[in-house]
Amino acid sequence: MASNKFGVNLAFALVVAALGLTVVTFIYVNSNKPDIRPAASQETSSQSPGSSPAAALDMGRLAALEQSITREPQNPDYRTQIGNLYYDAGQYDKAADFYQQSLNIRSKDPSVETDLATCFHYLGQDDKALETLNKVLEYSPGFSQAMFNKGIVLLEGKKDIRGAIGVWEDLLRLNPSFPQKAELEQRISQLKAAR
């Protein structure tokens, strides 16, 4: 599930990077008109990951997990799995609720908390997303998914190109075997060139 989300996040990041590069180039070229913002960048923040339709919610799996919660109410994994179902279906508000329930039972789970932060980003709550990611990085320094997602939130949510580049450069320095290293290096180079 984590690698699926990572792939979805990476695909989303690449689409957003292309749009972001277009926006940055547009703003740079038209720097005498700083208030002009193309509509495409505003639409991106409300789209589901990867600009593809969300997966259908697996109602059978959802029902089975709800029964498991009834049998084992203190098992956070069932709540996380329900959160994952809602996340994959693009229902980020419900996913966030179940991730938070899971964290109330077992706090400091960097994967769950990173997914929660991603939900906040998709819901337009970028300050809350950054606060959550910073918390993850306090107790789990160098957690690559949190660092990667922080870069996305900084770039797309806060329009902080320099901050995103810095986080991603730190990510590559701390995790030299990062699976998507080449793609991230290319993205960093494009952002630096556009500045």
Determine contact, residues 180/152, Cβ cutoff 8 Å: no
pTM of the model: 0.73
Q: Which residues contact 88 (CB under 8 A, 6 or more apart)?
A: 4, 54, 55
Check residue 82 and give its pLDDT.
Answer: 98
Write the pLDDT tens digit of every residue in 59-98: 999 999 999 999 999 999 999 999 999 999 999 999 999 9
CA dihedral angle for residue 138, residue 188, residue 157, residue 18, rounded to 10 degrees: -150
Mean pLDDT of 5-26: 49
Show me where the domains of the chain are located.
2-194
> E strands along the chain, which residues?
none
CA distances to 89, 113, 120 from 19, rounded to whole Å, are 23, 27, 21
CATH dotted code for 2-194: 1.25.40.10
**What number of CA atoms fall less than 13 Å from residue 18's CA on the CB side?**
8
